[in-house]
Structure 1
């Protein structure tokens, strides 16, 4: 059995690999060594097995990185397992996707597209925007502006520089899961808002990039204007500098991100997480 990084195909060593029989009972376990190889003996021909791959602590939380079912035959020489663990010597393979010029106000759907591409899903930011992002137009009634709750839908159009706004985590999760379901992918998007720095760092260590809501320059959030949310009648103050980035690595003093405006950049860790907290700790993961 060969364990490799999903996006790049690089072999991965030091992963915990568990073998289960058709009833789900663990029958063997090992560590991937020597260019990602994990060896199991005494498998029975024409029997169905399942392998689970991850770090040892994954199995205590139930969030192992990869699960693959296969049937062993006498002609089976090896099984290739593409796992979402990361070759830390090379860093994440999240592609750089820039929101401009097509989506000047579409950082959220652009970062989601980059994460889906990282897992091998073929899609584009425009397809995700046009077919999957929940959106709602603004309306004016008695000279008052009405629009959606950003926790439910995007207000306006990401392609419109003047009137496009933003969306929070839950609609991005919905867009991702609708896409995943339609394409029948073995993935799941999760709203991880409220996660602590430790929890976010743990995602990164497991090879799971995290979409994080921050401000454009990590300065304090700025609000101006807004609209009445139709569902509740409450007034939503509009953020002027809201942004999303894909978090790729967390160091002692810095973080590496894929910024859909600038590409791969390094930022101050403290300022980054302060901005995350100031915007309500919005985060999304896909795995």
Structure 2
């Protein structure tokens, strides 16, 4: 409401009060003039209010329409990004024989080499953060490290206890080689993996060695300095290189197989079960 409207409304109030004070002394004609004046001022106020509010209403509607159009375009663009099928040519590396438990750093080496970073699996094995918490078993309860904090156990041999490492230490190490270009989208849905693949970016993930959902019996409880976690000795890491309607494709560091395939539904379930851990590179 602008100043002109305020002035007119103030005058209406003043005229109405004066009318109430002197109406007994006014004749019929004077009363009619008074009432007509008040009515005219009300009409003017209405016009002034609508004149100022109408453009704002129109503007608000235009903004809402534009935002809706932008949202629809965003959805369309995201949908258009997803290709029907993808198969990337990422380098294949075998974790064996040097790194029997080194699937995570070997898959990371494949991702970094795809981005033209000159680094090998053994270098990454040395540099990855370690959790040195000792393995202790007391009355059936296992006390050990947390793969979210660093690599657990011996990466170079299967003779002693060990497991692997999860996405946080891997992403931190990758960031040292490609600062500002590492995308850790752990916790996202599976479609996000397809989006990155459609942009020609392979994806590092944590899954299991069967590439399908495991039964509850495959998991063990560990008590770690960071809290209690559920782990499986079937934990595995691969580099996803593509997909189509039926299959997901990946480089498997354990077998050294390039663009190995697994049913996409099974693979998704195994990935979700392991915490939907995923890392890639940005453009």
TM-score bracket, normalised by the shorter chain, equals: 0.5 to 0.7
Query: Are 2:90 and 2:110, in contact at CA under 8 Å, matched by a contact in 1?
Result: yes
Match of 2:247 in 1: 254
More helix by share: 2
Within a 5 Å distance, the mapping from 1:243-282 to structure 2 comes to 243-262=236-255, 263-264=257-258, 265-282=260-277
Q: Among residues 158, 170, 193, which one is paired with 1:172 in the alignment?
A: 170
- How far the C-alpha of 1:140 sits from its partner, in A, is 5.3
5+ unaligned residues in a row in structure 2: which ranges? 1-72, 79-84
Q: What is the count of residue pairs matched by the alignment?
A: 198
Question: Hey, what does 2:232 align to over in structure 1?
Answer: 239
Shift of 1:141: 6.6
What is the Cα-based RMSD across aligned positions, in Å? 2.8
The structure whose Rg is larger is 2
Instruction: Work out whether 1:284 is the aligned partner of 2:279.
Output: yes
Can you list the C-alpha shifts for 1:124-182, whole angstroms capped at 9, x where unaligned? 10001102x1112232579575433221211123212132311111111011112335x
Unaligned runs of 5+ in 1: 1-55, 62-87, 182-186
Residues 1:270 and 1:151: Cα distance change in structure 2 (over 3 Å): same
Q: Contact 1:139–1:145 at 8 Å: present in 2 too?
A: no
Aligned to 2:195: 202
Offset, 1:197: 2.0
Please show how residues 73-152 of structure 1 align to structure 2 within 5 Å: 91-131=87-127, 133-139=128-134, 143=138, 146-152=143-149
TM-score normalised over the length of structure 2: 0.63
TM-score by length of structure 1 reads: 0.62
Picking from 151, 162, 168, the partner of 1:154 is 151
Relative CO higher for 1 or 2, CA cutoff 8 Å, sep ≥ 6?
Answer: 2
